[in-house]
Chains A and B, each alone.
Chain A
Amino acid sequence: MNAKQRTGSTLLEVAIGSMMMAVLLIPAIHAMNDSDRLNKRHDLRISMLFAAEEQLEKTKISLLDPVAFDAAYIASGASTVQSITLAGTSGLVCRTQIIADKSIGVAPARLVTIVTEVWQDINGDRQYDNGEPSERLLTQQAKL
């Protein structure tokens, strides 16, 4: 500073102030990245639920055939794994399992639980692995 009192900041002060502001921006970048990631995950989950519900409906239709229903009831626990083709989403695999529910013992009524699990098969082994995004839906169907 010269003898005359000078008002204002030096270049160094301005630069340091700007740097501090820039440092404060880092959490904002993280927040935006997180929001983007969550958005993508949400879209994927919607697609997986759509695929799971589609599979559930197809299974329900197939079980409307009494012969198919009885066969599924006898083979309780058997599961089928298939790849799902869905526009806009790739690498989805679905496992459908039909489990006999013996909780209603009024013959000839029979009840089955249909479990559908859809996951994004990241490593392509057609098996659900920890960390792979997945959705699971289940419903029950009776034959009276």
Chain B
Amino acid sequence: MNHLNHKGRLRRGLSLLEVIMCTVVVALMLVPIVDLIRVSNRTLVRVEKGSTTAQRLQQASIWLRDTLRDSQIQSVVRNNIQLRLANGDVATLQTNNTQLILNTKSHSTIVCDDITGASWRELLTTTPPFTRTGVVLAIQANDPVKGPIEIETTVAVGP
């Protein structure tokens, strides 16, 4: 703004009131901007982190549960589970270092990656002829924050 001072000369600049008003307006403007930055940072961290280890194991367990439910289990031994898939293919569920893999004649499916172990056991009836009633699967992995975690899944394979 231009003002005439007491000597009648033109003075260029802003009045104190204008500066104060601008400062207030800028401060008010900064509040939602800072909030937006905070929220966007939180979202970014969440997206970059991806799904947690627990969620990853949970998703693999859900997939396994659905697959086993739709299949016919042929054998459950210490190293693998043999099953006949719904499409008739024979498949083997086994671990390979840090991966849980479902192998068929034609292809391999990585069920879960970055695991520290996987185990399974069959559940049998308590009375003869001790038929198989279910399978319990456990997948273990290391979470960078929570340490070692395990997700257990039970699948009923009754008659």
Contact = CB atoms under 8 A, between A and B. Distances in A.
A75 interface: no
Contact of B54 (A33, A57, A61, A88): A88
A87 B151 contact: yes
B58 A18 contact: no
Given A12-B18, A43-B55, A58 B126 contact: no
B57 interface: yes
Interface string A49-88: 0100110011011001100000000000000000000111
Contact of B36 (A1, A2, A28, A65): A28
Interface in B113-134: 123, 125-127, 133-134
B16 interface: no
B104 interface: no
Contacts of B43: 32, 35-36
Given A36-B46, A43-B55, A88-B54, A18 B25 contact: yes
Contacts, number: 104
Contacts of B149: 87-88
Interface residues of B, number: 49
Which of A1, A33, A39, A57 has the most C-beta atoms of chain B within 10 angstroms of its own C-beta? Answer: A57
Question: On chain A, which size bracket covers the interface?
Answer: 35 or more
Contacts of B52: 88
Interface of A: 1-2, 10-12, 15-16, 18-19, 21-23, 25-26, 28-29, 32-33, 35-36, 39, 43, 46-47, 50, 53-54, 57-58, 60-61, 64-65, 86-89
Interface of B: 1-2, 10, 14, 18, 21-22, 25-26, 28-33, 35-36, 39-40, 42-43, 46, 52-55, 57-58, 61-62, 65, 123, 125-127, 133-134, 143, 146, 149-156, 158-159
